[in-house]
Amino acid sequence: MNRTPERRSAADPTRLSVQGAPAEAPAECPLCPRLVAYRAANAKAEPSWFNGAVPSFGDQNARLLVVGLAPGRSGANRTGRPFTGDYAGELLYQTLLEFGFAQGIYKADPHDGLELRDAMITNAVRCAPPENKPTPAEIATCRAYFSARLSALPRLTVLLALGRIAHDQTLAALGLRKAHYPFAHGARHPLEGGRALYDSFHCSRYNTNTGRLTADMFRSVFAAIRREIDAAKS
Ligand code: SF4
């Protein structure tokens, strides 16, 4: 059963540290002052929105982890589920459904009943950043949660980085050097333990509108991942 979005309490922020962070951040995580201020401004402007650190969504035993950049202000930051409610989610969830990594109907609503199968979606940075641009310090701070997320997936086999920031966050969390794993759309980087990191351009409206990423290009990456995961079954 997939987890539904929930607000996690920040009742004990002293427990939050780079060492021993939980896989999911409390909705009111206090660690990035600029993003905390942005959350507060969004909560004031749109009090009915989620306006918190967005939890990962999907199968706790997933072999595929899709890594996005950060919640979009009026997408995941509004709905509380990654990629839900903005343009990027349309292509991502449609593709996950097509390749058997989701079941149900995506309605851009966290209560649409959609479930991920053998897959989870998370973000390199859990809070919405202004203009979708987290700072290097924010990316580094949120890495504690990302690293914990990786560690909490016992069957993790394939990581899919959507964009360079997700790619770099993944490498940093795994202690790998960027120079040895250059980002490229469609690239597959073998990792230790039989795992692999795939890269794709982010499925943002900007990338699809400009033709940098087409639906077919995106589908090709998922087709390769599907083959790899199916082969690992046998
Ligand atoms: S981006 Fe991550 S580390 Fe920073 S406040 Fe949000 S949850 Fe905390």
Burial group, residue 234, by CB count within 10 angstroms (0-12, 13-18, 19+): exposed
Please tell me the residue having the least CA distance from ligand 1 atom 6: 127
Please report how many Cα atoms fall inside a 13 Å half-sphere around the Cα of residue 82, on the Cβ side. 27
Q: Is the pLDDT of residue 163 over 80?
A: yes
Average pLDDT, the chain: 93
The verdict on pTM exceeding 0.75 is yes
The pLDDT of residue 10 is 46
DSSP helix/strand/coil, 119: strand
The residue to mutate among 145, 147, 149, having the most atoms of ligand 1 within 8 angstroms of its beta carbon, is 145
- Fold classification of 28-233 (topology level): Uracil-DNA Glycosylase, subunit E (3.40.470)
Going by alpha carbons, the residue nearest to atom 2 of ligand 1 is: 142
Q: Residue 187 gets which letter from DSSP?
A: -
Q: Where are the alpha helices (DSSP H) in 60-105?
A: 76-79, 87-98
**Angstrom distance (rounded) from CA 117 to CA 59:** 6
Q: Is 32 in the pocket of ligand 1 (CB under 6 A)?
A: yes
144/88 Cα distance (integer angstroms): 25
Atom of ligand 1 nearest to the CA of 29: 8
Nearest residue to 25 (alpha-carbon basis) of 46, 6, 41: 6
The string of pLDDT tens digits covering residues 91-139 is 999 999 999 999 999 999 999 999 999 999 999 999 999 999 999 999 9
Strand runs labelled E in 130-231: 158-162, 188-190, 196-200
Q: What's the distance, CA 67 to chain centroid? A: 4
Sequence spans of domains, the chain: 28-233
DSSP code at position 53:
P
Cα–ligand 1 centroid distance for 48 (angstroms): 21
